[in-house]
Amino acid sequence: MENNFQMVAKTLYGFEDLLAKELVQLGAQRVKKGVRNVTFLGDKGFMYKCNLALRTAVKILKPIASFKVFDEKDLYEKIYKIKWENYIDSKGSIAINSTLNSNIFTHSQYISLKAKDAIVDRFRSLKNERPSVDLRFPDLKINIHIDKMFCNVSLDSSGESLHKRGYKTATNIAPINEVLAAGLIMLSGWDGQSDLLDPMCGSGTILIEAAMIACNIPPNLMRNEFAFEKWKDWDVDLFEKIENSLLNKTRDFHYNIYGIDKAPSAVKKAIDNINNSKLDSFISIRHDDFFKTSKSSKELLHIIFNPPYGERLEINVEKLYEDIGNTLKRNYANSNAWFITSNKESLKYVGLRPSKKIKLFNAKLESIFAKYEIYDGSKKAKKQ
Ligand SMILES: C[S@@+](CC[C@H](N)C(=O)[O-])C[C@H]1O[C@@H](n2cnc3c(N)ncnc32)[C@H](O)[C@@H]1O
């Protein structure tokens, strides 16, 4: 298609396959996996669609220039040559974010400053007027990535990270990132064909992301703003058309999604967030101690959670993970239980052998996403 251009969707470590699959399903062309990113082709409407509908992307970048760069003067000149007046008015505001992987360039803030000088100087000489810098609410967010001698200049079409879905107004002390939560559910293979439980649900992120997956609801429908809404080529009619076409693809869901938490404050936060997300007809929350609960039906149950790791919350790790193992074994037969923890030691105390272990990161913490298959009746849970 002649209006297609290249885009880069950025993601979290370990989610490249999931993101590439999402992109193919949405209709992207020439999908290519990188490290924590996937590149693809699409047009403007597709860029809107990606921002609204991708669950495992944190940002969608639109590259506008790429070149070899030898020193700071060279960088200045090449950035100066870009036709910035096509992207922003001289009265507008910009913010530049630089990431570097290079021996020549080592100070990202200095690179941002040089790039800003180049843009500002171009406007001054063309229009006698210059855009201002606004790091919080810029009209144009610019991304500069230098890898060795190769420089990519992109426009950030998303703005704030796409994990900011817009439903979470209440946070607890250790909420999981929404993109991570969605990716965990997808990695675990849950497809909405069984009940799903988060037995330590905190603010309810996993439950809300699960309900959106089950009903095929685009995750960013409730988001306040995307950066492309301030672009010169912003097309509100096209955006609404894309929104409506995505809404037409939502589906019904006939199982239960439910959460348990022992902290009353977490229960309140989960309920608030679920109400905000307008998914309260699919999700229920119970105030309880998971270790005193048991499975309510004989049907296969899918369990996903992120227990306290002992990193940010003060806990007795040994006892907590021992109790998790015992509760699953004794009270949750016929379940597939997955949890993510950055505390690798803790897995020793579960007393069950994981059937799968996947390396991921929870923010900066290297973590394990482990699966435990809890069998029914004669087939006992695998002992360590
Ligand atoms: C790391 S947080 C979960 C965060 C959650 N995924 C979110 O997005 O907000 C761990 C949660 O486990 C809960 N918890 C700890 N022990 C529990 C238990 N025995 N039963 C139920 N909840 C428990 C804590 O109250 C806390 O809310």
User: Cα separation of 32 and 104, whole Å?
Assistant: 28
Cβ of 303 closer than 6 Å to ligand 1, yes or no, is no
Cβ of 291 closer than 6 Å to ligand 1, yes or no, is yes
What's the gap in Å between 64 CA and the centre of ligand 1?
44
Q: Are 169 and 270 in contact (CB under 8 A)?
A: no
What's the pLDDT score for residue 309?
79
What's the gap in Å between 186 CA and the centre of ligand 1?
21
Cβ of 104 closer than 6 Å to ligand 1, yes or no, is no
User: Cα separation of 214 and 179, whole Å?
Assistant: 16
What's the pLDDT score for residue 378?
46
Cβ of 202 closer than 6 Å to ligand 1, yes or no, is yes
What's the gap in Å between 261 CA and the centre of ligand 1?
6
Q: Which residue has its alpha carbon closest to ligand 1 atom 26?
A: 202
What's the gap in Å between 322 CA and the centre of ligand 1?
16
Q: Are 187 and 225 in contact (CB under 8 A)?
A: no
Any idea of the CA torsion for 160, 165, 169, 174, to the nearest 10 degrees?
A: -80
Mind listing the pLDDT tens digit for each residue in 255-302?
A: 999 999 999 999 999 999 999 999 999 999 999 999 999 999 999 999
Cβ of 205 closer than 6 Å to ligand 1, yes or no, is yes
Take residue 267 and report the two structure tokens written for it.
């229960």
- The residues pairing with 339 across neighbouring beta strands, listed in sequence order, are 305, 370
Between the alpha carbon of residue 210 and those of residues 200, 304, 326, the distances in Å are: 15, 10, 26
pLDDT at 9 over 60: yes
What's the gap in Å between 200 CA and the centre of ligand 1?
4
The overall average pLDDT reported for the chain is: 94
What's the gap in Å between 120 CA and the centre of ligand 1?
49
Mind listing the pLDDT tens digit for each residue in 113-145?
A: 999 999 999 999 998 999 999 999 999 999 999
What's the gap in Å between 308 CA and the centre of ligand 1?
6
What's the pLDDT score for residue 174?
74
309 CA: nearest ligand 1 atom: 1
Q: Are 132 and 86 in contact (CB under 8 A)?
A: no
Parallel/antiparallel/unpaired status of strands 59-68 and 5-10? antiparallel
User: Cα separation of 276 and 279, whole Å?
Assistant: 8
What's the pLDDT score for residue 172?
56
Q: Which residue has its alpha carbon closest to ligand 1 atom 7?
A: 175
174 phi and psi, to 5 degrees? -140, 60
Between the alpha carbon of residue 280 and those of residues 167, 184, 273, the distances in Å are: 12, 21, 9
Mind listing the pLDDT tens digit for each residue in 169-228?
A: 756 567 899 999 999 999 999 999 999 999 999 999 999 999 999 999 999 999 989 999
What's the gap in Å between 272 CA and the centre of ligand 1?
16
User: Cα separation of 39 and 83, whole Å?
Assistant: 23
Longest dimension (CA), the chain: 81
Residue 315 CA to its chain's centroid (Å): 27
Residue 145 CA to its chain's centroid (Å): 20
What's the gap in Å between 209 CA and the centre of ligand 1?
16
Q: Which residue, 187, 222, 148, 189, is CA-closest to 367?
A: 187
260 CA: nearest ligand 1 atom: 21
Q: Mean pLDDT over residues 48-56, rounded?
A: 98
What's the pLDDT score for residue 181?
98
290 CA: nearest ligand 1 atom: 20
pLDDT at 166 over 90: yes
Q: Cβ–Cβ contacts within 10 Å for residue 101, how many?
A: 10
Out of 173, 201, 269, 338, mutate this one to test ligand 1's pocket (max ligand atoms within 8 Å of CB): namely 201
263 CA: nearest ligand 1 atom: 25
User: Cα separation of 9 and 28, whole Å?
Assistant: 11
Angle 347-348-352 from CA coordinates, rounded to 5°: 80
293 phi and psi, to 5 degrees? -105, 165
What's the gap in Å between 289 CA and the centre of ligand 1?
10
Out of 200, 209, 320, 346, mutate this one to test ligand 1's pocket (max ligand atoms within 8 Å of CB): namely 200
What's the gap in Å between 307 CA and the centre of ligand 1?
6
Q: Mean pLDDT over residues 72-81, rounded?
A: 97
pLDDT at 312 over 60: no
Cβ of 203 closer than 6 Å to ligand 1, yes or no, is yes
pLDDT at 377 over 70: no
User: Cα separation of 248 and 246, whole Å?
Assistant: 5
List all residues 6 or more positions away from 197 whose beta carbon is below 8 Å from its beta carbon: 257, 258, 259, 260, 301, 302, 303, 304
pLDDT at 347 over 90: yes
What's the pLDDT score for residue 104?
86
pLDDT at 307 over 60: yes
Q: Which residue, 45, 48, 46, 88, is CA-closest to 64?
A: 88
User: Cα separation of 194 and 214, whole Å?
Assistant: 10
203 CA: nearest ligand 1 atom: 9
Cβ burial, residue 362 (10 Å; 0-12/13-18/19+): buried
